[in-house]
Amino acid sequence: MERGSLENHLFRKGSVALPWNARMKIALAAAKGLDFLHSGGPNGSKPVIYRDLKASNILLGQDYTAKLSDFGLAKDGPEGDKSHVSTRVMGTYGYAAPEYVLTGHLTTMSDVYSFGVVLLEILSGKRAMDKTRPVGQHNLVEWCRPYLSDGNKLFKVMDTRLDGQYSIKGSQTAGKLAHRCLNRDPKRRPKMAEIVDILEQIQNLKDMAKPST
């Protein structure tokens, strides 16, 4: 893909800040990719769990179209009345769902948690794990969790490189969505189809904030 990975655009030193609309376009495309897999993939038979969603596995095209890459850890989801697949824990620290890390039980909701982490990275411009940050901020999810559902505090999470140029309502909606995706109880996380619907609604918002002076 012409523009390389989302990771490079968010975190590489000297990179130009991604505009708000591009960030939401990327999030939506990644969500659609996961929804396609969870719906049964190309065969439409049983769900496929991606298992390793992270910023480096999202590749960007010239107009910020995004595609998932590296399906090496993808796994068929549970069949019949089974609720999960038991497997050796693999993936990337900081992105993996807590219940998967603890038990090895893998579900589509494991991907939803990982998507929540990536969405948080997109909003904040910060890595999921970074020990060079101040104490208490090493783990992005735990640091941001208290601010995500409070629209009045969400600005503390937002990437300062955006210089205030983002949809206020859209950022609040995305923050609440990330909060739901990162719920410690997998049963309370939204399905990818709902996530796609919410992100599509954000695309249509026009309430861009004025740049700070």
Q: What is the pLDDT along the chain (213 residues), one digit of tens a residue?
A: 577 899 999 998 877 899 999 999 999 999 999 999 998 866 667 888 888 899 999 999 988 999 998 765 555 555 544 544 555 556 577 899 999 888 888 889 999 999 999 999 999 999 999 988 988 889 999 999 999 988 889 999 999 999 999 999 999 999 999 999 999 999 999 999 999 999 999 988 877 655 544
pTM over 0.75: yes
Which CATH number fits the domain that encloses residue 132?
1.10.510.10
In a domain, 19, yes or no: yes
Which residues are CB-neighbours of 80 under 8 A, at least 6 positions away? none
Of residues 148, 88, 107, the one with CA closest to residue 124: 148
Type and span of the H or E element at 202:
helix 192-203
Residue 62 included in any domain? yes
Active site (annotated) includes residue 52: yes
Q: Is residue 210 part of a domain?
A: no
Q: What is the count of structural domains for the chain?
A: 1
Q: Say if 208 falls within a structural domain.
A: no
CB 6 within 8 A of CB 15: no
- Residue 188 domain-assigned? yes
- Annotated catalytic residue, options 35, 52, 111, 159: 52
Phi/psi at 16 (5° precision): -75, 135
Considering the domain boundaries, does residue 174 fall inside one? yes
Closest by Cα among 54, 9, 50 to 33 = 50
pLDDT tens digit string along 38-70? 988 666 678 888 888 999 999 999 889 999 987
